Amino acid sequence: MDPAQLGLLGLGIRAGHVIVGTSGVREALQKGELQLVVIASDRSSRTEEKIGRLARARGVALLEGPPADELGRRLGRDSVQAVGVRDSNLAKGIRGERAAQDH
């Protein structure tokens, strides 16, 4: 992930469109609320099992982020293994896709 993508995650947190932490992300995945999941590159096998596998099973886009300490630091938190994005346009921006525009 590049700094711009991480910056978008930070904006999403302030706007209430991003969930930080494994338990919250897992719960939101189970409820079908997420458009994108970012998991730390050094995630634990348990996080991979609980979050990665569930996201793939639900058809939710999965993006590997920086190591957990860096991901957390960039988001103003301690170590973070998983982040979930609720808003579809924010998820597209983080994935580098253009949001649909009316002309």
Could you tell me the pLDDT band of residue 43, with boundaries at 50, 70 and 90? very high
pLDDT of 99 above 80 = no
pLDDT of 102 above 50 = no
Domains delineated in the chain: 3-95 (3.30.1330.30)
Question: How many C-alpha atoms does 35 have within 13 Å on its Cβ side?
Answer: 15
pLDDT of 101 above 80 = no
Distance in angstroms (rounded) separating the CA atoms of residues 29 and 35: 9
pLDDT of 6 above 60 = yes
Average pLDDT over the chain, rounded to an integer:
91
